[in-house]
């Protein structure tokens, strides 16, 4: 089983645990005997029948869906929120009943009409490449772990039901005995550094309900593939021991499996402590980083808290954060901020009333999983700069045109409005003296 300590941070931060099946198997798809996932998946329908995906690699993609013949453009597809909020109202502002609305407009009619502008989704798994890789051609292999961003859409809806682009990438298992082997079927054979689009009908996988869609929905998954790690990857074997002692005792050579025990009669700490017992040579971990790590855990009652070296699923992942948990307690991973990749660390946590009797975990930090920072092409940067300069010039011109002219002051101290004009000599010449009256 997974350690209570390690699961606390990972459950809210990473869907990968659920998708991997680390904390249990899916009755729908898990298999007891691993079997090959097969060859690289491809599309069997015409490109015109598949979604269009645009945007740059490692940034949130935009999606369009193919239209039925006769539709030049769809009316805006309803978002989930808009669809649920769509209701008819009577003239006095109260909500109409279904019977009253039946003679005028069905509340779901707009959704049906808008979505029906798109063709029906394909009935089988379709996988295409939206952006080819610019890397060295390394392909995703079975029984590896893939670091990727993933976004999911329901067919015909432009608002995603799930996305990692707003937080950190995920590390997904490419293996047939994972809870959702469809991930492996989509990604195996694809190239690191590419963007992959998959149309997944409900008959192909139960993953749609795991990401917030309905059981009968066809979903579109878009992946940006960043890196892959072998399932048996280990941390740095030549990390430098610090000689620092902890209450919990760790055994096992660096770069390999470790075990942890707590001495009988010892007491858990009163607060969370993080101790580096071997220093790695990698970069320091930053607040918000997603880490890949091995661990072994035990609680102060002597109960085994699980081990990634033993359970067969490979390394675990967690987001390191300085933010406390929802109940106000300190995040167990906060002490990892500043620790270098490759280090071996012992985290000791206090007992929590009604929860557990304190816990000790040894962690080997393998890697920090980051989204690559893509350079903006010079042409795009130049075009953007030109557009910004034009907007600034237009704004300055508009501001100048709307400025009020200032009044001036005459020599005798009288103010003359700026918009008044002094009479010209010609105007003065045209003005004649009034003629004398006959009486004069």
Task: Place 136 in a pLDDT band, splitting at 50, 70 and 90.
Answer: confident
pLDDT digit string, tens, across residues 162-210: 999 999 999 999 988 888 899 999 999 999 999 999 999 998 888 988 9
Contact 170, 234 (CB under 8 A): no
Instruction: Average the pLDDT over each of 59-63, 108-112, 119-123, 189-193 and give the range with the smallest value.
Output: 108-112
C-alpha distances (whole Å) from 242 to each of 64, 73, 275, 341 are: 55, 65, 10, 15
pLDDT digit string, tens, across residues 216-253: 999 999 999 999 999 999 999 999 999 999 999 999 99
Contact 58, 371 (CB under 8 A): yes
What number is the average pLDDT over the span 102-128? Answer: 65
C-alpha distances (whole Å) from 105 to each of 75, 86, 108, 109, 141 are: 17, 11, 8, 7, 53
Q: Is the pLDDT of residue 364 over 60?
A: yes
Q: Is the pLDDT of residue 423 over 80?
A: no
Show the domains of the chain with their CATH numbers.
1-30+233-390 (3.10.50.40), 34-66+119-230 (3.10.50.40)
Q: Which residue has the higher pLDDT, 438 or 44?
A: 44
Predicted confidence at residue 253, as pLDDT, reads 98
pLDDT digit string, tens, across residues 371-397: 998 765 555 444 455 555 556 666 666
| Residues whose CB is less than 8 angstroms from the CB of residue 71 and which lie 6 or more positions away in sequence, other chains included | 117
Contact 37, 184 (CB under 8 A): yes
Predicted confidence at residue 290, as pLDDT, reads 96
Average per-residue pLDDT for the chain: 78
pTM of this structure: 0.72
| Residues whose CB is less than 8 angstroms from the CB of residue 138 and which lie 6 or more positions away in sequence, other chains included | 191, 192, 228
What number is the average pLDDT over the span 97-121? Answer: 52
How far apart, in whole angstroms, are the C-alpha atoms of residue 263 and residue 152? Answer: 48
């Amino acid at each position: 089983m997974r350690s209570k300590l390690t699961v606390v941070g990972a459950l809210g931060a990473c869907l990968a645990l659920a998708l991997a099946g680390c904390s249990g198997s899916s009755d729908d798809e898990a298999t007891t005997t691993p079997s090959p996932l097969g060859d690289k998946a491809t599309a069997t329908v015409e490109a015109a029948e598949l979604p269009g995906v645009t945007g740059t690699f490692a940034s949130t993609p935009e999606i369009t869906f193919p239209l039925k013949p006769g539709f030049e453009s769809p009316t805006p597809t309803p978002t989930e929120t808009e669809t649920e909020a769509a209701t008819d109202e009577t003239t006095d502002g109260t909500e109409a009943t279904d019977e009253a609305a039946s003679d005028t407009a069905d509340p779901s009619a707009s959704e049906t009409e808008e979505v029906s502008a798109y063709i029906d989704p394909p009935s089988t798994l379709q996988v295409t490449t939206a952006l080819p890789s610019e890397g060295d051609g390394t392909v995703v292999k079975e029984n590896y772990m893939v670091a990727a961003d993933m976004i999911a859409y329901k067919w015909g809806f432009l608002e995603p039901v799930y996305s990692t682009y707003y937080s950190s990438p995920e590390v997904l298992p490419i293996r047939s005995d994972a809870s959702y082997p469809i991930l492996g079927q989509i990604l195996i054979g694809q190239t690191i550094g590419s963007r992959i689009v998959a149309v997944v009908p409900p008959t192909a996988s139960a993953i749609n309900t795991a990401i917030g869609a309905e059981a009968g929905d066809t979903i579109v998954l878009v992946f940006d593939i960043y890196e892959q790690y072998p399932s048996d990857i280990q941390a740095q074997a030549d990390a430098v021991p610090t000689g620092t002692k902890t209450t919990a005792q760790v055994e096992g050579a660096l770069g390999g499996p470790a075990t942890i025990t707590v001495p009988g009669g010892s007491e858990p700490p009163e607060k969370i402590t993080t101790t580096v017992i071997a220093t790695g040579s990698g970069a320091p971990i930053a607040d918000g980083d997603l880490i890949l790590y091995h661990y072994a855990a035990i609680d102060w009652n002597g109960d085994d808290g699980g081990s990634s070296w033993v359970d067969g699923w490979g390394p675990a992942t967690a987001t390191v954060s300085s933010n406390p948990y929802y109940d106000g307690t300190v995040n167990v991973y906060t002490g990892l901020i500043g620790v270098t990749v490759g280090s071996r660390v012992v985290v000791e946590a206090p007992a929590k009333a009604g929860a557990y009797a304190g816990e000790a975990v040894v962690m080997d930090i393998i890697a920090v999983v980051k989204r690559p920072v893509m350079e903006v092409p010079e042409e795009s940067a130049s075009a953007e700069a030109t557009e910004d300069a034009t907007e600034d010039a237009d704004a300055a011109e508009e501001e100048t045109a709307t400025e009020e002219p200032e009044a001036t002051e005459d020599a005798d101290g009288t103010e003359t409005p700026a918009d008044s004009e002094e009479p010209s000599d010609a105007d003065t010449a045209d003005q004649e003296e009034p003629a004398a009256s006959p009486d004069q």
